[in-house]
Amino acid sequence: MSTTDPTAAARDEQRIAEYAHPERLVTTAWVREHGGDPGVVIVESDEDVLLYETGHLPGAVKLDWHTELNDEVTRDYVDGERLAQLLSEKGISREDTIVLYGDRSNWWAAYALWVLSLFGHPDVRLMDGGRDKWIAEGGELTREKPQRERAEYPVVQRDDATLRAFLPQVRELIGQVPLVDVRSPQEYSGERTHMPDYPDEGAMRGGHIPTAASVPWGKAVAEDGTFRPRAELEALYLDEAGLGDAEDVVVYCRIGERSSHTWFVLTHLLGLDTVRNYDGSWTEWGNAVAVPVTVGSEPGEVATR
């Protein structure tokens, strides 16, 4: 049995109602009530590829970012044909409401949500607080895998123009639109370039893209893993990071996963018009030849060329 405090649940509902697009977020209580409804698919997406197998929400399907949403050869996401095959096998149709949740305050769930958004899946949401909140409330976990009937997910072309940014575009956008670096302060300053013994996973150069504001992704999340209230997020991003009434924003991190989380906040919780995730992020920029880099804790100037 779950142990949710009814007043806390009501507070969560109220907080969510204040976001720009409250329909993109559901509470754990909502999942308990509607997780098994026809047309609703609960999907777990984690950093740890085995976490789902250790126990997941009853009826939840697994979607792994590394092994399922990435193309095996090219550094890119799967194409429309592969996505259709993948979701059909998992018993997910284009009309379904997909509710994603996962570990680490929904990093990877937000990443999966962003990728599904590239394909324009109409109704895809996050479970606020993710896996940890569900467990903290005493929610049931099971190792039993659901047997969903195969669905017919259509082949939809991926739209890389609207929600995604590539290196040449970002380069042109320096000084034109706000950039947000969501990595840790040490990665932003350049103090940390790569992890020991992993030169090839990191970058040749440390620092950040000139003019980028530093807002580590986790600042958007409260202690219980839920998103902070809208007013706090506005103070953080619109005021402190200076996004103000920007119409176009680019976010990035190391490979695009933490910045998907921030993309979700800016797009769905604050309602900014055009937010693009630069998924090449620092593992591309920090290895690219002759791109401008700023070190230290200040955003830096527009590079003169």
Active site residues: 253
**Which of these segments, 24-32, 63-71, 150-158, 239-247, binds other proteins (CB under 8 A)?**
63-71
Chain CA centroid to CA 137, Å? 23
**Which of these segments, 11-19, 66-74, 240-248, 260-268, binds other proteins (CB under 8 A)?**
66-74
Shortest distance (Å) from residue 197 CB to other proteins:
5
Among 1, 50, 289, 290, binds other proteins (CB under 8 A): 50
| SS3 at position 109 | helix
User: Taking a C-beta distance cutoff of 8 angstroms, is the pair 262, 171 a contact?
Assistant: no
Shortest distance (Å) from residue 154 CB to other proteins:
26
Is 51 near other proteins (CB under 8 A)? yes
User: Taking a C-beta distance cutoff of 8 angstroms, is the pair 257, 107 a contact?
Assistant: yes
Among 6, 38, 168, 196, binds other proteins (CB under 8 A): 196
- Site residues for other proteins, 85-104, by CB under 8 A, read 103
Q: Give me the residue label for tokens 């695009």.
A: 256
Quick one: residue 51, left, alpha or beta (phi over 0 = left, psi -120 to 50 = alpha)? alpha
**How many C-alpha atoms does 301 have within 13 Å on its Cβ side?**
3
Read off φ and ψ for residue 235, nearest 5 degrees.
-60, -40
Is 76 near other proteins (CB under 8 A)? no
Binding-site size, other proteins (CB under 8 A): 17
Residue 248: both structure tokens together: 């176009």
User: Taking a C-beta distance cutoff of 8 angstroms, is the pair 100, 113 a contact?
Assistant: yes
Is 148 near other proteins (CB under 8 A)? no
Q: How far apart are CA 30 and CA 84, in angstroms?
A: 28
Among 5, 37, 152, 197, binds other proteins (CB under 8 A): 197
Among 2, 54, 157, 176, binds other proteins (CB under 8 A): 54
Among 49, 155, 204, 302, binds other proteins (CB under 8 A): 49
Identify which of residues 51 and 179 has a Cβ nearer to other proteins in the complex: 51
Best CA proximity match to 125, nearest among 58, 204, 31, 2: 31
Is 223 near other proteins (CB under 8 A)? no
Angle between helices 107-118 and 257-264 (to 10 degrees): 80
Identify which of residues 103 and 137 has a Cβ nearer to other proteins in the complex: 103
Residues lying near other proteins in the complex (CB under 8 A):
47-51, 53-54, 64, 66-67, 72, 103, 195-198, 201
